[in-house]
Amino acid sequence: MKHFIYIILITIAWQTAHSQQLQQLSFNEYLGYVKKYHPVVRQANLQISGAQAGLMAARGAFDPKIEVDYDKKEFKGTEYYSLLNSSFKIPTWYGIELKAAFDNSEGIYVNPQNTTPNRGLTSLGISIPLAQGLLINNRMADLRKAKVQLQLSEAERKLQVTHAIYEASIAYFNWKRAYSEVQLYDTYLKFASDRYSGIRKLIEAGDKPAIDSVEAGITVKNRRLTLTEAQLKLAKARLDLSNFLWLDDVPLELSQDVVPEDVIEAGITQALGIDPALEVTDSLDGHPKVLALQGKVDILDIDRRYKANLLLPRVDLSYNYLSEPSYIDNYRLEDYKIGFNFSFPLFLRKERGALKLAKIKVQDGMLDLDLARLEIKNKLIAQRTEIASLADQRKIADELVNDYTSMLQSEERLFSFGESSIFLINARENNVVSAKLSQIALQNRFLGSNAELFRILGEPGN
């Protein structure tokens, strides 16, 4: 309900302030709203937060840990056992684990190997993997992957934001095109209506045949029909644009009093942060898509290295110095507990198969990366070529509009001298309208081509 009232207040304020004139929504201002408030852009920013949470979780595998186990049994006045096992573990980077412990076991039925002095038994030890798990293990691999994932998420965020801005730009350009077409059809509908009124007066005066009013009336009806269709197209374009207009969490509906910017070609490159004249480099190492694919390859390579480490035998060595609490200051090196664990699969079929699959995934990722580099480079070259070509086509279209307009003006002068007909004027005017429609379409293609270049570059800016 609050959001609904908020929208009503904005609409009333906007309409009150601009009831006497139309308000322009510049392309740069429009992009500012999209970059700051659009849900897709905000969702893309959540990827970074998710990656940071994943990195925190991976670092949690190296957090110190306190463990306490206590079991006690009494039955018919007899203490069967009272077992206390407590420890403080510190995992380190290279699979080495430090451990401090305190054990106290009492009771009649305590296992002799678990028997401790009356005050308990303290221990301080270290556990070292000598082969498998020393240079890389599961928690090390997870942490490295999480760090790479953070960089990958930033690249994917840029791609997602870039695509959202691209879609929003296309919506704005289509809105501008639809508005320009409505303005064009409305202008020439007025021309046709004025001409129709003038022809009727000439017919009434006996200076023109009655058939000329039919010809002029057909033109008015055609103009009105095309204007109605253009207005429908404009209404749809306005609603499409409204999909990208948000203020905080409130969607905004574009008012009919708001119109697009008159001339945006000059500032399009600055608004999108692109340079069509910039040379295309071969490396493209900083491109978000290349960074994203490189990040995926790096994650696969970490997994490959971990799988390769599993081919080594598992050899774990542990040493724990033992002492009673009262003797902690008197070191007796002969009091200790050591452990040695060894395991090794004879055929390693599971490990060798997993490693082979990991290598295949890395090779597949590298092929995707090489292909992406080539595709991006060729797309950039093609897009810059298209922009240059459209700029030349627009110049020709402008010349055609001027030429057709001159022909129309000449035909109107002949008509005023009685040396032309309404049919020829309509034909000349139709040519002008068609040329201006082509001019508007080329403008739309030119703006869309710049937006496509922005999408290919993948740099949304701030």
What's the pLDDT at 462?
62
In degrees to the nearest 10, what's the CA dihedral of 173, 179, 185, 187? -120
What's the pLDDT at 450?
93
Instruction: Identify the residue with better confidence: 6 or 358.
Output: 358
Instruction: Identify the residue with better confidence: 159 or 10.
Output: 159
What's the pLDDT at 119?
85
Looking at the predicted structure, is the pLDDT value of residue 210 above 80?
Answer: no
Tokens of 218: 């057909």
Q: What is the pTM of this model?
A: 0.84
Instruction: Identify the residue with better confidence: 116 or 297.
Output: 297
Looking at the predicted structure, is the pLDDT value of residue 12 above 60?
Answer: no
Using CB atoms within 10 A of its CB, is residue 397 exposed (0-12), middle (13-18) or buried (19+)? buried
Closest CA to 266 of 3, 26, 62: 26
- Provide the b/e sequence for 306-318 (b: ≥16 CB within 10 Å): bbbbbebeebbeb
What band does 25 get if pLDDT is binned at 50, 70 and 90? very high
* Residues facing 24 on adjacent strands: 259
What band does 93 get if pLDDT is binned at 50, 70 and 90? confident
Q: Token match 């897709």: residue?
A: 40
Looking at the predicted structure, is the pLDDT value of residue 19 above 60?
Answer: no
Looking at the predicted structure, is the pLDDT value of residue 327 above 60?
Answer: no
Tell how strand 78-91 and strand 97-106 pair up: antiparallel
Average pLDDT on 299-305 reads 95
What's the pLDDT at 393?
95
Task: Name which of 106-120, 229-243, 363-377, 435-449 the model is least confident about.
Answer: 106-120
Other residues' Cβ atoms within 10 Å of the Cβ of residue 344:
12
What's the pLDDT at 3?
42
What band does 325 get if pLDDT is binned at 50, 70 and 90? confident
Tell how strand 23-25 and strand 258-260 pair up: parallel
What's the pLDDT at 206?
73
Average pLDDT on 285-289 reads 89
What's the pLDDT at 87?
94
Non-local (6+) Cβ contacts of 342 within 8 A are 313, 314, 315, 316
Q: What percent of the chain has pLDDT over 70?
A: 92
What band does 1 get if pLDDT is binned at 50, 70 and 90? very low
- In the chain, the domains with their CATH numbers are 22-58+140-300+357-457 (1.20.1600.10), 60-134+312-347 (no CATH)
CA distances from 145 to 149, 190, 299 (A): 6, 67, 5
Average pLDDT on 306-330 reads 84
Q: What percent of the chain has pLDDT over 90?
A: 58
Looking at the predicted structure, is the pLDDT value of residue 4 above 90?
Answer: no
Looking at the predicted structure, is the pLDDT value of residue 111 above 90?
Answer: no
What's the pLDDT at 326?
67
As a whole number of angstroms, the distance between CA 402 and CA 333 comes to: 102
Task: Name which of 73-77, 173-177, 345-349 the model is least confident about.
Answer: 73-77
Q: Token match 């949690």: residue?
A: 60
Concatenated DSSP letters of 291-312: HHHHHHHHHHHHHHHHHHHTTS
What's the pLDDT at 271?
87
Concatenated DSSP letters of 21-65: S-EEE-HHHHHHHHHHH-HHHHHHHHHHHHHHHHHHHHHGGGS-E
Average pLDDT, the chain: 87
384-418 confidence digits (pLDDT tens): 999 999 999 999 999 999 999 999 999 889 877 77
What's the pLDDT at 279?
67
Using CB atoms within 10 A of its CB, is residue 153 exposed (0-12), middle (13-18) or buried (19+)? buried
Sheet holding 65-75, edge to edge: 65-75, 78-91, 97-106, 121-129, 314-323, 336-343
What band does 162 get if pLDDT is binned at 50, 70 and 90? very high
- The three-state secondary structure class of 194 is helix
245-277 confidence digits (pLDDT tens): 988 888 888 888 899 998 888 888 888 888 877
Instruction: Identify the residue with better confidence: 214 or 101.
Output: 101
